[in-house]
């Protein structure tokens, strides 16, 4: 749907603006890579799923909107899953993504 395509494009532009980001399409998701993948994204019909490549306990998520995926099979890298809809606060989502980006580029 157009609404989800716009959401993904907006998110992609914000992520690429972090600098030095490569977009790596995979079979089941789209990887965003600095030195290694820091966020993986899967656009779906009514939402966008993303996985942050961080270990449990490393992410500061005051609103508690991410799901711990440790030990649960999923596509993408990392232990945190986040579901985004057109109503989601993208500024907050970018705060989470930036944490993963910084962790991968240190």
pLDDT one-digit tens code per residue, 59-88? 999 999 999 887 776 777 788 999 999 999
Q: Which residue has the higher pLDDT, 74 or 2?
A: 2
Measuring CA to CA, which residue among 21, 40, 44 is closest to residue 31? Answer: 40
For residue 100, pLDDT over 90 is answered with: yes
Q: Which residue has the higher pLDDT, 93 or 57?
A: 93
For residue 102, pLDDT over 80 is answered with: yes
pLDDT one-digit tens code per residue, 18-38? 999 999 999 999 999 998 999
97 burial type by CB count under 10 A (0-12 exposed, 13-18 middle, 19+ buried): buried
pLDDT one-digit tens code per residue, 40-57? 999 999 999 999 999 888
């Amino acid at each position: 749907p157009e609404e989800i395509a716009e959401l993904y494009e907006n998110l992609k532009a914000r992520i690429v603006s972090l600098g030095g980001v490569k977009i790596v399409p995979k079979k089941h998701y789209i990887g965003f890579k600095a030195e290694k993948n820091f966020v993986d994204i899967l656009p779906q019909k009514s939402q966008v799923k993303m996985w942050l490549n961080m270990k449990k306990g490393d992410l500061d998520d005051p609103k508690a909107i991410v799901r711990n995926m440790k030990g649960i099979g999923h596509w993408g890298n990392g232990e945190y899953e986040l579901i985004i809809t057109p109503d989601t606060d993208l500024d907050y989502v970018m705060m989470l993504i930036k944490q993963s980006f910084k962790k991968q580029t240190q």
